[in-house]
Structure 1
Amino acid sequence: MPHPLQGYRTPARAMHWIVAAAVLLMIPAGLVMTREGISRPLQDALFLFHKNTGVLLFFLILARLAYRLMHPPPPLPASMPGWQRRAAGASHAALYALLIAMPVSGFVRVRAGGFPIELLDRLGAGPWLAKSEPLAEFAKDFHAFAAFTLIGVLFIHVGAALHHAMIRRDGVWQRMWPPVARS
């Protein structure tokens, strides 16, 4: 039985699982809302959910990054090979980059397309961008590319977590699970 590793603090765990749940809801919403042939009321509801949750996620991700800078993650097990440590670092960097790129590109796509973001509009944030179809199309294409890249990186992240939980049983999974740190 491996020695217990230091786990993430409760705020880091809570933010991780809130972001995970939101992203796991955003992916199917984004995929369904852009399909042809779905009912207009469902499409409208999904767009509202996707745009406004994206705004909230952007600020939560920024808070999570700030927290991570102030509270570095606990060390990985000494038994973990160097290539796995590098892969973990690269996948976490990719996740953070994509989790920032997604709401930013979504914002640009929506605002440059001349569409509302209801949460920001209610807060009086203003459009911040002039309407531009070329910019909106570029942001739309980038958002779609980043979405599928994010899905791929998430599969790697979840696969690695399950590998550590079920095969290696080296305590890496327990660093983040459960969502609240045990005392």
Structure 2
Amino acid sequence: MAIPDTRYRWPARLLHWSMAALLLATIPAGIVMLQDGLDRTTQNALFIFHKNVGVLLFILILVRLAYRWRHRPAPLPDDLPGWQRTAARLSHGALYAFLLVMPIAGYVRVKAGGFPIETLDALGVPSLVPRSDALAEAAKTVHATGGLAVAGLVVLHISAAAYHGLVRRDGVFSRMWPPFGGRSGSGSGPPGLTSDGGSGS
């Protein structure tokens, strides 16, 4: 049976895959940069990369939320069990929430700790938080805990995507693939990843 075309518009797909690439780059960078024994040059480069990609991700998540508010995603497949609908909605909402919290906590940790964020500093953006070791330490804890949550949600995201693409084959993955190009088509594309494991983007 032919699957109706419910592919997302190209701005949604571009935002999704751009954010996915940046997120999958900055998570390992954040882990590696904290390892003992790492040479200072590499560590500094990773810190600069992690901080400034965080700024970009924060801007992109705001743009994506605004776009999603104006362009609601297609409904889930009619035969999807209720518990899977609930799980998709909750996990998707949690991922959006953490993608907002993480850069904010990272910003507070860096600025309260008295460190630069090169992109913002070059643009002349003043610090929005006071210098405070206690505040920096609290934000560091939030950022570290949130990082674990994001990693777990990403694994869940990919697992649900594989289920939709390889087991159900219900066209959910093809809503967000390919990353670029027109909206037309019947949902062709390789199975695997999807924007949210079935809850829209």
Deviation at 1:90, TM superposition (A): 0.6
**Paired position in structure 2 for 1:145:** 145
Q: 1:2 to 1:157 in 2, by over 3 A?
A: farther
**Paired position in structure 2 for 1:12:** 12
Deviation at 1:139, TM superposition (A): 0.4
Note if contact 2:12-2:67 (Cα within 8 Å) is conserved in structure 1. yes
Paired letter, 2:68 = R
Deviation at 1:74, TM superposition (A): 1.1
Matches within 5 A, 1:21-36: 21-36=21-36
Report which stretch shifted further, 54-63 or 171-180.
Answer: 171-180
Identity %: 56
- What CA distance in whole angstroms lies between the structure 2 residues aligned with 1:166 and 1:173? 10
**Paired position in structure 1 for 2:49:** 49
- Superposition misfits of 4+ residues, deviation over 3 angstroms: none
- What CA distance in whole angstroms lies between the structure 1 residues aligned with 2:2 and 2:145? 40
- What CA distance in whole angstroms lies between the structure 1 residues aligned with 2:95 and 2:47? 23
**Paired position in structure 2 for 1:82:** 82
Deviation at 1:5, TM superposition (A): 4.4
Paired letter, 1:40 = R
Matches within 5 A, 1:61-80: 61-80=61-80
- What CA distance in whole angstroms lies between the structure 1 residues aligned with 2:87 and 2:11? 24
Deviation at 1:2, TM superposition (A): 5.4
Deviation at 1:4, TM superposition (A): 2.7
- What CA distance in whole angstroms lies between the structure 2 residues aligned with 1:126 and 1:182? 41
Note if contact 2:7-2:183 (Cα within 8 Å) is conserved in structure 1. no
Note if contact 1:5-1:172 (Cα within 8 Å) is conserved in structure 2. no
List alignment gaps of at least 5 residues for structure 1. Answer: none
Deviation at 1:79, TM superposition (A): 1.1
Q: CA RMSD in A?
A: 1.0
Matches within 5 A, 1:30-179: 30-179=30-179
Measured against aligned partners, the alpha-carbon deviations of 1:42-80 in whole angstroms (never above 9, x if no partner) come to 000000100011001100100000000000111111111
Deviation at 1:153, TM superposition (A): 0.6
SS at match of 2:136: helix
- What CA distance in whole angstroms lies between the structure 1 residues aligned with 2:52 and 2:155? 25
Deviation at 1:174, TM superposition (A): 0.9
SS at match of 1:84: helix
Note if contact 1:2-1:171 (Cα within 8 Å) is conserved in structure 2. no
- What CA distance in whole angstroms lies between the structure 1 residues aligned with 2:134 and 2:5? 50
Aligned length: 183
- What CA distance in whole angstroms lies between the structure 2 residues aligned with 1:36 and 1:47? 14
With structure 2 as the length reference, what TM-score do the two structures score? 0.88
List alignment gaps of at least 5 residues for structure 2. Answer: 185-201
- What CA distance in whole angstroms lies between the structure 2 residues aligned with 1:80 and 1:5? 17
With structure 1 as the length reference, what TM-score do the two structures score? 0.97
Note if contact 1:52-1:118 (Cα within 8 Å) is conserved in structure 2. yes
